[in-house]
Amino acid sequence: MEPLAITLCIDASKPHVQTDFIVVGAGVAGLRAAIELASAGRVLVIAKDSLRESSSEYAQGGIAVALNDDDEVELHEQDTLVAGDGLCDAEAVRTLVEEAPAAIEQLIEWGTAFDREGTRLLFAREGAHSRNRILHAHGDSTGREIARTLRRKAASLENVAFQSFSAVTDLLLHDGEVIGVVALDSTTQSTIAIQARAVLLATGGLGRVFENTTNPDVATGDGVACAFRAGAAVEDIEFVQFHPTALFVPNAPRFLLSEALRGEGAYLRNASGERFMERYHPLKELAPRDVVSRSIVLELRASGDASAFLDLTHLPAGFIRKRFPRIFETCLTYGVDLEKSLAPVRPAAHYAMGGVQTDLDGQTTLPRLFAAGEAACTGVHGANRLASNSLLEGVVFGARAGRAMAAVSALPSITAVPRASLFPAITERDLRAIAWNSCGVLRSGPELAAASKRLAARRFEPLSSPDRAAFELRNMHQVASLIAVAALAREESRGGHYRTDFPAKSALFEKHSRITARLHTDATVVFS
C-alpha cells in the first residue's frame, strides 16, 4: 500500500498546527526515522515535492554491507576510513558498519527485492572497496526500491501521516529550542506554523547549488540552510563529492552514469581514444571518485575538449541492457547506445559529505532538532564518501535518530510566530555559475575569496508573496556562501576538497570545520 498525501488545514483562522514529531523529507533517512517514531506519537512527514521525488529515488549504485562470505565488518570499516582521508569519525564508522547487516536484513524482511543469483544475494564491487559488498535492486534502481519499501511500511502505521508539496522554509524557535517548522503549501501559497516535540531534517543534498549536478531539482540544501539560520552548527560543508561520470549531452540533464559501470569494466577515454586514467592513479578507472573527477578535469583543460568518454562497447552483448536497464534506456533516450557507442561524460556535483553537525543519534547542536541522511554530518564520510555508503547511512542513522527523538519530552504549549524573511537579489543562474566556477572540482584561494565577496555583497530584500522558488534560492545562496567561506579557510587539499594553491594535505587541517550563524557574521570558520 502506497501512502496518500494528506492536506493540512491551512487558512487564516487556523495559522498553527500541532503534532508530536515532524520529519522534513521523504527519502530513505526520513522514512526510516518515521517508522521508528510511529510508536511514540503522531508523525508528520513533510515532502517539498511529491513523496517520490528525493535523492534516494535516483541512487543507482547500491548499498554497501559486509554480508558476503569473504567479507568482514572490519574490512568495510577500513575501506570507509581510507576513503575518508583522515577525517572520518571512527565511532560513527564503526556504528555504520556494525549495524549495517541487521539493517539490511530488516529491509529484506519488509520486502526489499535486492538482486540475487538464484537464492543468493548478488554482491558487486565498486571503487575503493576491497570486497564485493554492494547490493543492488533491479540493477540500477536500488534507492528507488528501498524508498518504495520504506514508504509502504510507513504508510501501514496508523500514526504516520504525509504532507506533500509543502516546502519547509524556517525552523520555529523558543528559548533556544526548536519547537517546529514553518511550511509553505505550494497549492495555496499559504504558510503555516507546525509545532512538534522534535524535528528531524532529512532534506537530502545540495547539488542544485552547482551549475552541473546529478541531483534532482529538490536538492537545494534546505535542511542545512534552515538549521544554520536557526543557529545550529554546520560541519565540513566544504567537502562536496563530484561524481566523475555524468552524461554530458546538449539539452539533457546531467544524468549519473553509476560508478558500478566502471566496476563492471567500463573504460574512460579522451577524445583521442586513449585510456588516460593510468597516468593519474594505479587503480585507473577504479580510483577514488575525487581522483577520477580531478583527472577528467585536468585532461579536459589540457586538451580543450568538451568531455571525456565512457566506453562499455567491449563488454558482452546484452550485458549492459540487462545489468543497468535504467541507465541503458535513459542514455538511449538521449541518443547514446552504450553497447555501440561511447558516452560523453564530465564531472558533476553529486554528494555533500558535510552538513548539519550531529552526534551518533542525529542530535544537532540545537535542542529538539535532529538531522539524518545527506543533510547531516555524522562524520561517517570524512572528507570523501566511500561508494554506496550513503543509502546505508540513511537507513542506519535514520533509525537511530528516530529512536532518540522518541525519547524527547513533550513540548509545553507555546504560540509560535514565524519570522519575516529577506531574500537575496541574485538570479539562480548567476548563483550556480559562481558556485561551479569557484567552488567546483578545482579550487583556489583568489577564486574562493572573490566568490565569497560576491555572494556577501548581494543585497537582501523582502518579498510580498514569496513562492517556493524564492525560498529555494535563499537556501541555495546560504549554502553556497557557507561552502565558499569554509573552502577558503581550509588551506590544504583533502578528499573532495582540492586547492590548486595548496595541493598537499596538511596535518594542521586534520580537523573538522565548523561554522555557526553567530560566527558567520565575520566569516569565521573554527577547526577542531
Cα within 13 Å of Cα(47), Cβ side: 26
Q: Give ranges for CATH 3.90.700.10 in the chain.
A: 243-345
The confidence score (pLDDT) of residue 414 equals 78
Q: pLDDT digits over 348-389, tens only?
A: 999 999 999 999 999 999 999 999 999 999 999 999 999 899
Residue 60 pLDDT level (bands cut at 50, 70, 90): low
Helix (H, G, I), strand (E, B) or coil at 22: strand
Q: Does domain 243-345 have CATH number 3.40.50.300?
A: no
Torsion of CA 205, 211, 213, 215, to 10 degrees: 40
Q: Give ranges for CATH 1.20.58.100 in the chain.
A: 418-527
The cell for 477 is 545562496
**Which residue shows C-alpha cell 547531516?**
376
Q: How many CB atoms lie within 10 A of CB 367?
A: 14
Q: How far is CA 65 from CA 76, 188, 210, 396, in A?
A: 7, 44, 31, 11
Using the predicted structure, report yes or no on whether residue 3 has a pLDDT greater than 50: no
Report the range of poorest mean pLDDT among 240-249, 298-307, 317-326, 409-418: 409-418
Report the range of poorest mean pLDDT among 58-62, 171-175, 272-276, 509-513: 58-62
Residue 147 pLDDT level (bands cut at 50, 70, 90): very high
**Which residue shows C-alpha cell 527519502?**
27
For the chain, the first-to-last Cα distance in angstroms comes to 47
The confidence score (pLDDT) of residue 12 equals 37
Instruction: Please state the three-class secondary structure of 416-462 as a single string.
Output: CCCCCCCEECCCHHHHHHHHHHHHCCCECHHHHHHHHHHHHHCCEEC
Average pLDDT, the chain: 91
Any idea what DSSP says for residue 2?
P
Residue 140 pLDDT level (bands cut at 50, 70, 90): low
The confidence score (pLDDT) of residue 522 equals 55
- What is the b/e burial string over 103-142, where b = at least 16 CB atoms within 10 angstroms of the residue's CB? bbebbeeeebebbeeeeeeebbbbbbbebbbbbbbebbbb
Residue 390 phi/psi, 5-degree rounding, is: -75, -50
Measured between alpha carbons, how far is 435 from 482 in angstroms, rounded to an integer? 11
**Which residue shows C-alpha cell 532518540?**
404
Torsion of CA 149, 152, 158, 160, to 10 degrees: 70
Phi and psi based region of residue 220 (left: phi greater than 0; alpha: psi -120 to 50; beta: remaining):
alpha
Domain 418-527 fold is: Methane Monooxygenase Hydroxylase; Chain G, domain 1 (1.20.58)
CB 379 within 8 A of CB 362: no
Q: Which of 148, 289, 294, 443 is catalytic?
A: 289
Q: Which among 62, 46, 246, 88 has a CA at the least distance from the CA of 140? A: 62
Q: Annotated catalytic, 289?
A: yes
- Model pTM score: 0.91
Paired sense of beta strands 369-371 and 177-185, if any: unpaired
Would you list the DSSP string of 227-285?
HHHHT--EESTT-EEEEEEEE--TTS---B--HHHHHTT-EEE-TTS-B-GGGT-TTGG
